[in-house]
Amino acid sequence: MLSRALGPALLLLPLSVGCASLTHTRTTETSGTFLSSGWCFTILSVDIPKGAIQIARENASDANLPNTQVQSMEVTPNLGGFDWLLDIIGLRYAKIEGTWGFDGK
């Protein structure tokens, strides 16, 4: 019985790693915009390694950009009332966009 479950578990193991990226662009010497994103794998309502939106937020926070202001967040796929289907098994991608710094206005 255990050997039957071990095969699919080993196939899913590469999906269990999270991935994140961050880009920031200067618009003035002390301010600019940023885009942070993160991926996660969900199985039985457990996000591995953690939720995609949390990965994206932590990634933006770790950049230590001053006065970070989030302007938009998006999690894909978004099935609305059927999001519970993705809690059984699925991949999620989150994107956070915003501004940072002081532009003197």
pLDDT band at 9, cuts 50/70/90? low
**CB-CB contact of 79 with 85 (8 Å):** yes
Q: What is the pLDDT of residues 38-79, one digit of tens each?
A: 998 888 888 888 888 999 999 888 888 889 999 999 998 888
**CB-CB contact of 88 with 47 (8 Å):** no
pLDDT at 17: 57
- Cα dihedral sign, 51-7-11-91: negative
% of residues, the chain, pLDDT over 90: 27
Cα 10 to its chain centre, rounded Å, is 24
Alpha helices in the chain (DSSP H): 2-12, 52-62, 84-88
